[in-house]
Amino acid sequence: MDKENKLEKIINSIIKVIFVCIIIFLFVCSIFSSATMKKDEHTTYKQDNVIIQIGCITAACAIVTFLRAKKVKIKISKKHIIIAIVIWIIICTVWIFATKLQPRADQSKILDAAIQMKNGDFSTFKTGGYLYKNPHQLGLLLYFYLFELIFNNNAYIALQFMNILAILVAYYSIFKIVEYMYKNKNVSKLTIVGLFLFIPISMYITFIYGNLLGFALSMLALLFEFKYLEDEKNKDIIFIAIFISIAILFKSNYMITMIAMIILLIMEAIFKKKCKLIIPIVAIVICYLLSGITTKQVIKLISKEEVNKGTPMTSYVAMGLQEGEMAPRMV
């Protein structure tokens, strides 16, 4: 038993060290440079003013140190959080209508394909069409298609408001996950404050893609996994499997989250000697496979077109390693 506890502690320590190294690396990078994406999705890197950056960090640390020295307690009640959320929603709404941003690149192509589907045009699935080459976007296409059917010309606005909801769902999930992890309400409250102070993600609501929806659903899946590990209620397995599978349909990158969730379940099964933790792993894998098959069948039913295998995923890795007009290479 002691050996198992020691092994668990060693693995936890290794994970923490890796996590800290990544955070330090990103922190240092953020001091020296920033990435800017223009409306046409061209990404450029520019050098930051290091003195200003360090000055701001020093000032923030000084304020925190002063408050701790004076033992100042900042009480954050549910009422304060609700008021802050309402104000945030109002600001996000103003941002949507003030910017009047139009979809570009992949956003535009998927939205156009959804409009075409609504009008009975399925050319996007034929040779050379966008969905012919990118069938991994089928989940997002069905989502856009549904909004086109409901909201017609206002679908783009409605999709942006769904991004607001996605952020709220993601933040709530993270808030509850932190509660499960630390059993400390103050830590949870500080977490939610920190999340809302992260301004860039709030500006991201005008970007109608699978990123925010996938983020929200993957965090929900992770929340239910934490609930299951604590309460072991079988109903949570259903939510875990469904939410992470839909997240991947919206954005295939969240397969990384699914793999992490499976690794967590395997580790818990080994260290706590609970074979029943294999059940959610099987459920996740089955639901993931069925979600892809079901999506293709729904598309086939609507369009009467066969879904092509599309561009190999390895080609996207290759693109990320190349210099190009859109952005510098990823490494």
Summarised one tens digit per residue, pLDDT across range 136-156 is 888 888 888 888 888 888 888
Judged against a pLDDT cut of 90, whether residue 201 lies above it is answered with: no
Cβ neighbors of 248 (< 8 A, separation 6 or more) are 139, 214, 254, 255, 258, 288, 291
Q: Are 304 and 122 in contact (CB under 8 A)?
A: yes
- Are the C-beta atoms of 280 and 106 separated by less than 8 Å? no
Residue 312 has pLDDT above 70, yes or no: no
- pLDDT greater than 90 at residue 129: no
Distances (CA, A) of 73 to 67, 69, 187, 196: 8, 11, 13, 20
Cβ within 8 Å of residue 139, ≥6 positions away = 210, 246, 248, 249, 250, 291, 295
Q: How sure is the predictor about 215, in pLDDT bands with cuts at 50, 70 and 90? A: very high
Average pLDDT of the segment spanning 192-208: 84
Neighbours of 196 (CB within 10 A): 17
> Full-prediction pTM beyond 0.75?
yes
Name which of 313, 310, 317, 316 is nearest 138 in CA terms: 310
Q: How many CB atoms lie within 10 A of CB 257?
A: 20
More confident residue, 237 or 194: 237
Q: Using alpha carbons, list the distances in angstroms from residue 329 to 14, 25, 26, 43, 169.
A: 29, 18, 17, 10, 33
Q: What is the pLDDT of residue 318?
A: 64
Pull the structure tokens for residue 123: 């050319």
DSSP state of 233: -
Average pLDDT over residues 237-265: 90
State the pLDDT at residue 324: 58
Lowest mean pLDDT among 70-84, 136-150, 303-317: 303-317
Model pLDDT, residue 223: 93
3-state secondary structure of 37: strand
Residue 93 has pLDDT above 70, yes or no: yes
Encode 206-235: b = buried (16+ Cβ within 10 Å), e = exposed. Answer: bbbbbbbbbbbbbbbbbbbbbbbbeeeeee
